[in-house]
Amino acid sequence: MSDNDSETVQSHLVEPAWLEQRLGDDSMRVVDMRGYVNAQTQPDGFQTAQYNGAKDEYLISHIPDAVYLDWTSDIVDTEDPVPAQLAGPEKVADVLGRAGIGDDKLVIAYDNHPASQFATRLWWVLRYYGHEKVRVLNGGWKRWNVEGYPVTSETPRAKRAVFTPRPDPRWRQTWQDVSSKLDSDVVLIDARDEGQFTGTIRRGPRGGHIPGAVNVPRELLVESDGRWRALPELRAEIESRGIRPSNEVVAYCNGGVAATSVLFALSMLGYPDLSNYDGSWNEWGPRTDLPIATELP
């Protein structure tokens, strides 16, 4: 790994041993983002999905000093008709402030997802709101437990902090933005599995993908134990699909969550022009005025 690659990884990931040595450091806030997308698929391919947090699991056991944020309610706009949309600045400032996440804090996020998509969702939310001091625990909760690091059931008392949202619109796309770029050089990445990409499995009235999108299932970016693949492997995986750092990249999925795993990997690779179509298929799929495709490229 080159020096530049090493620096890039360190600006995105922390290892369990590193985190254990710094537990109790007041300049840092560890955030438990565990949760689920519980999907059920019918024989005809129609799939329903329920979004759930996992605070009950947090209360039983978590990393010492970690606070809990629910990805389904704390960082989303619960009044938006499109599920799981980014919360506005006032709500984010209040939620993060009550969690002890201030402008000066280094945030370490972890979850129990195989591709860390809830931790990377917080990473993306913070980056969108101008907070760059955020890392993801490599391997997440599963690795922390497997390797025998300490856990607790004690809930810390977070001292209220001041979080100042500074929205950077470059990190977030609307359906209008995406629609206007369909015939351009912008690379659209669909982070869902191939079944959803082709429409064999569908959520909502229509299955398929946004025309011109490249399918990069988030599972391709991680090892079986949840650790992120080495940068040379990630680079080869991404470049094999014709995606280069010079491209403007917009990622999407069903609800703008899995897409953040892809954006996180691309950010580690140094891709500079990244954004998330937050509405994703939850918004695009039901709209009959927007085009879809089902064929593989």
For residue 216, the 8-state DSSP code is: -
d(CA 34, CA 264): 17
Strand partners, 228: 222
Which is the catalytic residue, given 134, 189, 253, 274? 253
Angle value at C-alpha 9, between 5 and 14, nearest 5 degrees: 155
Length of the chain as a residue count: 297
Cβ proximity of 211 and 190 under 8 Å: no
Active-site residue flag, 253: yes
The residue with tokens 């690659």 is: 5
| Non-local CB neighbours of 1 within 8 Å, separated by 6+ positions | 9, 230, 231, 232
Token pair, residue 136, equals 């993801």
Phi then psi for residue 199, to 5 deg, are 90, 0
Q: How far is CA 51 from CA 36, 54, 73, 251, 255, in A?
A: 6, 10, 10, 20, 10
DSSP for 222-255 reads B-TTSPBPPHHHHHHHHHTTT--TTS-EEEE-SS
d(CA 189, CA 135): 23
Phi then psi for residue 54, to 5 deg, are -140, 45
Q: Which of 262, 276, 269, 260 is nearest to 71 (CA)?
A: 260
For 98, how many CA atoms within 13 A lie in the half-sphere containing its CB?
9
Report the catalytic residues: 253
